[in-house]
C-alpha cells in the first residue's frame, strides 16, 4: 500500500461520517455518535497526515505551499469542531456549523485527491510512498487508540 491509498481509506470514512452527521437532528444519540465518529476520524487523520505526508513534502520546495494550504484547512476544520463543542447540539447554529464543516471536509478531500496527490506523486519516489504509508498507518492507529 502506498501513502495515497492509505490516505484515501480515511478520506472515504470522513465523507461517510460527514454525510451522516448533517442528516441528524437535535440533541440525539445519533447526532452525538455521528459527530464523535467524524471528529475522532478527522483528528487522527490530520495528525498522522501532517506528520507523515505534509511534513515530508515540505522538504521539497515544490511541496511547501501545498502543505501549508492543507495544514491551514486542517486548522479551519479544528476551529469548526471547537465551535461545535461549545454550541448546544439542539440549536440551529450547531447544524449550520456542522454543514460548514461537512462542506469544508468535502472540499479539502477533493482538493487533496485531485491536486495535491498528483503534485506529491511527482515529489516522492516509490520507496518513500510505501514507507510513508506505513508510518502514517502506525501514527493513525496510535491516534485512534488514544481517543
| Digit-coded pLDDT (tens) for 86-139 | 999 999 999 999 999 999 999 999 999 999 999 999 999 999 999 999 999 999
| Segment 52-77, tens digit of pLDDT | 999 999 999 999 999 999 999 999 99
Domain containing residue 135: CATH number: 1.20.120.520
Give me 130's grid cell.
510505501
Query: Considering the chain, what percentage of its residues have pLDDT values greater than 70?
Result: 100
Domain that holds residue 130: 3-145
pLDDT value for 91: 94
Q: How many CB atoms lie within 10 A of CB 86?
A: 9
For residue 140, how many C-alpha atoms fall within 13 Å in the half-sphere facing its CB? Answer: 21
- Average pLDDT score, the chain: 97
**What is the tally of structural domains in the chain?**
1
pLDDT value for 147: 85
Q: How many CB atoms lie within 10 A of CB 137?
A: 17
Amino acid at each position: 500500500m502506498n501513502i495515497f491509498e492509505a490516505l484515501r481509506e480515511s478520506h472515504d470514512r470522513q465523507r461517510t461520517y460527514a454525510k451522516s452527521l448533517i442528516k441528524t437532528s437535535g440533541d440525539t444519540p445519533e447526532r452525538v455518535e455521528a459527530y464523535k465518529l467524524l471528529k475522532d476520524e478527522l483528528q487522527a487523520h490530520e495528525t498522522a497526515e501532517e506528520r507523515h505526508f505534509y511534513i515530508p513534502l515540505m522538504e521539497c520546495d515544490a511541496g511547501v505551499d501545498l502543505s501549508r494550504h492543507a495544514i491551514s484547512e486542517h486548522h479551519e476544520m479544528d476551529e469548526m469542531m471547537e465551535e461545535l463543542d461549545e454550541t448546544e447540539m439542539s440549536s440551529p447554529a450547531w447544524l449550520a456549523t456542522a454543514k460548514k464543516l461537512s462542506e469544508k471536509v468535502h472540499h479539502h478531500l477533493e482538493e487533496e485527491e485531485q491536486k495535491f496527490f498528483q503534485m506529491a506523486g511527482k515529489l516522492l519516489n516509490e520507496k518513500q510512498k510505501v514507507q510513508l504509508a506505513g508510518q502514517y498507518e502506525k501514527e493513525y492507529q496510535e491516534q485512534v487508540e488514544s481517543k
